[in-house]
Structure 1
Amino acid sequence: MKKQWFLALAADVVVVIVFAAIGRRSHGEATALAGLATTAWPFLTGLAIGWAATFALYRDKFDAYLVVPTGILVWLSTLVVGMLARVISGQGTAFSFILVAGTFLALFLVGWRAVFRLIESRTGPAR
């Protein structure tokens, strides 16, 4: 892996944690660290699986900053595995929540990569 992949991973982790924190706050739930961890772990698990799958599939040409395939695979894995883990653990998965989660995670997991690529195309490689 090249090009400071750990910064991209850190950005993705921050996105998932912010998503969980915003969700807890919007529902008036306690902001305790344990509550945040309970909300975030299914999506962090999906994120980890998405990263591992993307790296395994594209090992020779893996780039953590690509919208396609990395951003899309990481987003889909975070959403699908996250929702399945929520079901298994007895957490809610209302249809409206799936839509909100899918939209937020797409906007930010794929979005930051698209913005990065746009800036990079105008200024040259920054990594």
Structure 2
Amino acid sequence: MTQTTPTPVRRPAATSTIVLAAVADVVLVLVFVLIGRSSHSEGFSLGGTLVTFWPFAVGLLVGWLATRAWRYPVRVVLPGIPIWLFTVVVGMFLRVLSGQGVEVSFVIVALIVLGVFLLGWRLIASAISKRGAGRTGVTR
């Protein structure tokens, strides 16, 4: 009889991990909005920031729901990449529907910056997690 190595079971993320991941995503989308408003000399106003922020926040929510990101919120490929793309695509679509400007250059900048933000922290978290797992001998 051959002996097989059991496949490690991946447990869904802890509630604290889910909350931290969601907060990180929301904060980074907000930072994107604030940087954009600042670079266009729009300055900070709560109303203006909310007008710019809400389409991307809805896109982020759609991405979380579509991928059921709460199961494994720190993974890069799934749910990270779809969350990033939903945030940009739905955000731009809602900007168009609400009469906000959408230029090709803005779409490109949003893809790049939100990609770096939303995937970047996941890559860092994954690297830290793998590094810690290697030290303790635990597989994740």
Residue of 28, 41, 47 corresponding to 1:34 = 47
Structure 1 ranges of 4+ moved more than 6 A: none
Counterpart Cα distance in 1 of 2:81 and 2:74: 11
TM-superposed deviation, 1:123 = 1.4
Structure 2 gaps of 5+ residues are 1-11
Counterpart Cα distance in 2 of 1:2 and 1:121: 15
Partner of 1:22: 35
Q: Deviations over 1:64-109 (max 9, x none)?
A: 0000111101101000000000000011110000000000000010
Give the greater-gyration-radius structure (CA): 2
Partner of 2:25: 12
Q: How many residues align?
A: 121
SS of 1:44's equivalent in the other structure is helix
TM-score (norm 1): 0.90
TM-superposed deviation, 1:119 = 1.1
Structure 1 gaps of 5+ residues are none
Partner of 1:121: 130
More contact order relative to length (CA 8 Å, sep ≥ 6): 1
Q: Which amino acid aligns with 1:112?
A: W
Q: RMSD of aligned C-alpha atoms?
A: 1.5
TM-score (norm 2): 0.82
User: Identity of aligned pairs, percent?
Assistant: 46
Task: Say whether residues 1:100 and 2:112 are aligned partners.
Answer: no
Q: Which amino acid aligns with 2:50?
A: A
